[in-house]
Amino acid sequence: MANKLKVMLIDDDLPMLNYLKKMVDWTDLGCEEVRSYSSGSQALTDFRVWEPDLVISDIGMPQIDGITLAGKMKELNPEFMLVFLTCHEEFDFARKAIGLQAERYIIKDELSKSELGAVFEEVCRKASDMQLVSQEKAKQGFEQQKAAFVKWLISPIDQEEPKQHIWYESSYRIAYMHVKSEYDPEANTRTSLKKLYLSVSEQISDKESVDVFLVDEGLLFIMNYKDSIKQNYAGRFQRLLGDICDDIKNRDYSVSAKVYTQAMTFSELSESVRSLLFKKQNGYFTRGSLLILLQTLQPEVCHPVNHVIQDSLNLASQAVMDDDTDRINQAMALLLDQVYDMRVHPEEIEERLIKMVYQLEIKKGTEHSDVHFAKRLKQSVTFEEAWIMTRQKLHSLQTVPESSQVLPVDTSKLKRIDEYISSHLHESITSTDVAKALYLNSSYFSRYFRKATGKRFTDYVYEYKIKIARDYLKYSNESIEEIGAELGFTERTYFSKVFKKYTGMTPSEFRTKTQSNEKEGVSK
């Protein structure tokens, strides 16, 4: 959208100048301000500072004529629109006006008031078009400048430092946001990420101290500011990132952001950006948070995969071969706790997960291998993210007997519903959320789901979550509050109420009974 136009009227004939200013409703023509000058010298002085979009000038003026004046202005800024008003018909004046690329050369006495108004209307429209083109060129130039700068930040040895920096203040803060579509791997393309980048760029366009960059499979945010004890820039940065994460989630993407909480100077910026992007250990063992706040960029000490971890992987693999959903959940819940407790090296555990899935696909005789799985898993920012993706994948590899289907319905759609629930366990999921994810009308979705499963969607989600909660209570050491929060229950009392509705026991009673049964089994 073009900005309002700035118009400069120049004529040494004061009555004519006032006539030009009043004869047209400049506001209706999209003009923000119209300034009039009877002196060409004063007009030239103000032109340098004000930078008008349209100049309408008389030619025959003392001291400096309109042709000479316009030539000096074109040297300062060749992009503005120029119109000459004159009483002269001489060919020499017309030729010089054409040389200056004047939009119009108008002989005042030959035009009526209405005709002159129509000419100005046309010229203002063209000036607005030129302004849009100019804005687009400036935008493209800035994007190229940003791209060159971020390349240098990431690879300072291979890239020459740009001569022109895009930041000028002394303090910096950084964050990296990884986004992807959990249930639609095809959406994880550079094209869709570019669209998201453009949307976020527009969203923060009025935040002068923050820029966003398209890097790898995510978005890099850099805040440049002048430090002040009166301003909480760290809090402002985190709030902005939180708002962006919420907006991206509403577009049916999963998102997580690593935020380095320390300020830095420009000399520290490149190394800090590279550590944030490429040292995966940073924040990898964070759980249940969209914003991962990093106090340091020193990589966390991690350990290799041991036989305990491998035993859990083997249990999960065998459970898939046996098509045993409960045992899959048990093995994966155990693995989750083990990896977090032992701080297993990210690359190693991800390679084991990829290998397990690949071998299961072969054993199961999967017709089409998931070529996206390995790539998406390696892009995980936290282990929780990789774990959810893997558990979802293991469930998809189970063989579903025909007799278990309630109706001959679109099972791929039901599978996507389960995948959505699995990927959003920590949220309060409604049928509207899933309908939107599947691009379906919410009323139609409710009817379809009831017919396909014989259940209300709310009951289905709660049963799904409570089944996982039972496994957590059995096999993990997490508190009831933590388990409830991970499954989207913000209050323990409500979690207990729902749990009791579907199991006949509160979470505490269930855990106590389970532990008691295990002790009796050991004593026997």
Tens of pLDDT, residue by residue over 270-306, are 899 999 988 888 889 988 778 899 999 888 889 999 9
- The amino acid at residue 11 is D
Of 133, 134, 2, 126, nearest to 56 (Cα)? 126
Q: Architecture of domain 5-134 in CATH? A: 3-Layer(aba) Sandwich (3.40)
Is the pLDDT higher at 189 or at 432?
432
Of the ranges 73-77, 177-181, 233-237, 479-483, which one carries the lowest mean pLDDT score? 177-181
Any idea which fold 171-294 has?
Alpha-Beta Plaits (3.30.70)
Could you tell me the pLDDT band of residue 198, with boundaries at 50, 70 and 90? Answer: confident
H/E run at residue 58: strand 54-58
More confident residue, 151 or 102: 151
Question: Mind listing the pLDDT tens digit for each residue in 118-163?
Answer: 777 787 777 777 766 666 665 565 677 777 888 888 887 766 666 5
Confidence of residue 408 (pLDDT cuts 50, 70, 90): very low
Domain boundaries, the chain: 5-134, 171-294, 301-399, 407-519
Query: Could you tell me the pLDDT band of residue 251, with boundaries at 50, 70 and 90?
Result: confident
Spatial contact of 463 and 454, defined as CB atoms under 8 Å apart: no
8 Å CB contact between 394 and 316: yes
pLDDT band at 513 (very low <50, low <70, confident <90, very high): confident
Helices (H), 251-306: 266-278
Contact by Cβ (8 Å): 488, 428: yes
Report the C-alpha gap between 297 and 49 in whole angstroms.
46
According to the CATH classification, is domain 407-519 in 1.10.10.60? yes
Number of other CB atoms surrounding residue 133 within 10 Å: 11
Q: What are phi and psi of 424, to 5 degrees?
A: -125, 35
In angstroms, how far apart are the furthest CA atoms of the chain? Answer: 117
Structure tokens at 165: 């920096």
Query: What rounded mean pLDDT belongs to the chain?
Result: 81
Q: For residue 370, is pLDDT > 90?
A: no
DSSP sequence for 94-107: HHHHHHTT-SEEEE
What percent of the chain is predicted at pLDDT more than 90?
A: 22
The DSSP H or E segment spanning 329 is: helix 325-342
Tell me which residue of 146, 244, 170, 160 sits closest to 202, measured CA to CA.
244
pLDDT level of residue 4 (50, 70, 90 thresholds): confident
Which among 268, 355, 267 has a CA at the least distance from the CA of 314?
Answer: 355
Q: Quick check: 401 pLDDT over 60?
A: no
State the pLDDT confidence band at 98, using cuts at 50, 70 and 90.
low
Strand partners, 81: 54
